[in-house]
Structure 1
């Protein structure tokens, strides 16, 4: 009985040992196979690093306004007798826009002119009498004073009449009428807005550090939020003080807009072009990968693995220091040298040391790919 039990135990140990040994053998075999298995090369496109001309830009948010724009107001109170414009009419300087009832002033003017005629006749007669010596000097003085007073009364009434006729102060596009014919309006009532949209300006603000790089006559480019407007202009004004509340410096740019693409009050993206710099390394933003460890790029390098006969292409992850940005390109301050080939597509499939093949048909940077 004991002998049979011992034989069973020995047999069980032999079987278990065989199974364990077989599994260890298979595991080691698989490790050897995978260790010697060469990973397939990953196709990538590359951009060759080159020193180029860098045109830095300062970006800001601006608001469009007409170089000449104002809200037109009534100068004198009265009844609106006539409105001589419609919304969005193009008007010329001096064109009559609104007529306020002026019948009372015209009647006063007729009376004042009659009084002036009488004063002029009286003065003429007084001069003749004085020349013949039959009139006192005081009589002539009184006639001259009366004539001057009558003339001043006429001028005063004519000035009052001019406030009843509202004219355009400059050429431009007039807005929606804010008054109605027959309505009584008080002095100062706004009746429309007038904007000269052929000559526009854009106001924007920069930080103190940015403002130090800007000076008058620098070029600016403008784009609307919908990107349906693209215009250029020049800086014509820089506020000589910093706003103590926002700590910003206000800038003004003049923008020719003969076609009327801009609308006063419109929101705009502003870019100020700074002087160009030579020998700067810049890459597309899509080339650079950001992570918790920093910004990096994959650089393709030719290496000869141990035991290999032919060199092959591999990628190495290189950390870089990013500088300024302009459009879709980033300045690379450290980490790369002229002539390096950086991967510009397919980075998400790469690990440092992976073999690759170059296929620039995948490129996200057509200009760089064409150069390769």
Structure 2
């Protein structure tokens, strides 16, 4: 088919116009590219930027001094601070029993009395003879000075006096053995002795315990001997799920390791003014040694990457500084670490995942890092800034 001249001319004009417009567009795009790059890169801050970037919303916490100790969990047995089994020193018939199990008694209270008629007769006889023998001894001593009596007579009178004096003390002692008294303040135990019973010397009558304090005895492996020292805090509780913990202190450490068990015996004393602890009970005992020095940081402050754990510290210039840490021990909310941190340093406790190195950080509520107390500091709060 034959094309007309006007159609061919129109097509040629269209091709020329399209090529011209394409060239114009390409030329304009190349000229504006440098301006666009400058606009985006005018600030080196940005979400991960450094100086001049925005301040992330974070919370701070102050580093606290701490120590890391090793905890020992063992089983111990309780006993009274004073405990005695009361036994009879003499043989005889029981006449009086003042023993009420569980009753508190005072030192010197009479608990049991044996028949003492014969002993009282012997004491009365010795008391009657004593002044006569003493007077005789003194009279013969005076007569000897004037040579009215011989030295033998004076010596005989003196020896008789001393013998009767000894009889008097023996009668007093024999009488005292017929009575059992409380040797100290405490709580009296059970007894099966009744008035009219005949007991022999050495028979146990009852027990007496001073329960104002309780001593818990426990043993630790010889390898842990260096973890215990006097006055170290100890926690003890009865073997029950809801048992109340009691705080005490180490009061005695054995001088040698037991050769059979290879353990070291320890005693810890607990105040028992509330009467909750009983002698003979089994306790779950826990104690922690002081250990090495460390610092305490919140658990949320710890961050991880391929290099290991670290925290973000707010430097004196207000910039974020990465500080590598070595985790020593974890508690409920805190982590004890070894790091180039000192008590009073501010670290990011919340929002640490939004922090990058040399990023500006807001100022904590307590001011800059100057003059922060090294002990007991716990300043935390949320800060948001957009400079």
TM-score past 0.5 threshold: yes
- TM-superposed CA distance for 1:118, in Å, is 3.0
CA–CA distance in structure 1, aligned partners of residues 141 and 223 of structure 2:
77
Q: 1:208 aligns with which of 216, 219, 222?
A: 222
Q: 1:247 aligns with which of 245, 262, 280?
A: 262
Query: Alignment partner of 1:107: what SS?
Result: helix
Larger radius of gyration: 2
The corresponding residue for 2:209 is: 195
Q: 2:294 aligns with which of 270, 275, 278?
A: 278
In the superposition, relative to structure 1, how do residues 81 and 95 fare at CA in structure 2: closer, same or farther (>3 Å)?
same
In the superposition, relative to structure 1, how do residues 242 and 130 fare at CA in structure 2: closer, same or farther (>3 Å)?
closer
Q: Within 5 A, what are the aligned runs for 1:27-38?
A: none
CA–CA distance in structure 1, aligned partners of residues 381 and 85 of structure 2:
56
Answer yes or no: is 1:233 the counterpart of 2:248. yes
Query: Alignment partner of 1:235: what SS?
Result: strand
The corresponding residue for 2:173 is: 159
Deviations 1:128-162 (A, max 9, x none): 54455432222121111111111111111111111
Query: Alignment partner of 2:126: what SS?
Result: helix
Q: Within 5 A, what are the aligned runs for 1:6-17?
A: none
The corresponding residue for 2:282 is: 267
CA–CA distance in structure 2, aligned partners of residues 323 and 156 of structure 1:
70
- TM-superposed CA distance for 1:119, in Å, is 1.7
Contact 1:91–1:172 (Cα < 8 Å) also in 2: yes
Q: 1:91 aligns with which of 100, 105, 115?
A: 105
In the superposition, relative to structure 1, how do residues 271 and 84 fare at CA in structure 2: closer, same or farther (>3 Å)?
same
Deviations 1:253-278 (A, max 9, x none): 11121222110011111111222653
Q: 168-177 or 122-131, which moves further after superposition?
A: 122-131
Return 5+ residue gaps in structure 1 as ranges.
1-49, 285-320, 342-369
Contact 1:222–1:268 (Cα < 8 Å) also in 2: yes
Q: 217-226 or 274-283, which moves further after superposition?
A: 274-283
Return 5+ residue gaps in structure 2 as ranges.
1-61, 301-325, 339-347, 352-379, 383-387
Q: Give the alignment's TM-score, normalised by structure 1.
A: 0.61
Query: Alignment partner of 2:211: what SS?
Result: coil
Answer yes or no: is 1:173 the counterpart of 2:191. no
RMSD between aligned residues: 3.4
In the superposition, relative to structure 1, how do residues 212 and 155 fare at CA in structure 2: closer, same or farther (>3 Å)?
same
In the superposition, relative to structure 1, how do residues 201 and 283 fare at CA in structure 2: closer, same or farther (>3 Å)?
farther
- TM-superposed CA distance for 1:111, in Å, is 1.7
**Corresponding pairs, count:** 258
Answer yes or no: is 1:138 the counterpart of 2:134. no
Contact 1:81–1:182 (Cα < 8 Å) also in 2: yes
In the superposition, relative to structure 1, how do residues 202 and 125 fare at CA in structure 2: closer, same or farther (>3 Å)?
same
Contact 2:87–2:206 (Cα < 8 Å) also in 1: yes
Q: Within 5 A, what are the aligned runs for 1:43-82?
A: 53=66, 56=69, 57-82=71-96
CA–CA distance in structure 2, aligned partners of residues 252 and 155 of structure 1:
41
CA–CA distance in structure 2, aligned partners of residues 156 and 80 of structure 1:
21
Q: 188-197 or 323-332, which moves further after superposition?
A: 323-332
- TM-superposed CA distance for 1:282, in Å, is 9.0
The corresponding residue for 2:316 is: none
The corresponding residue for 2:131 is: 117
Q: Give the alignment's TM-score, normalised by structure 2.
A: 0.58
CA–CA distance in structure 2, aligned partners of residues 268 and 260 of structure 1:
15
CA–CA distance in structure 2, aligned partners of residues 326 and 164 of structure 1:
61
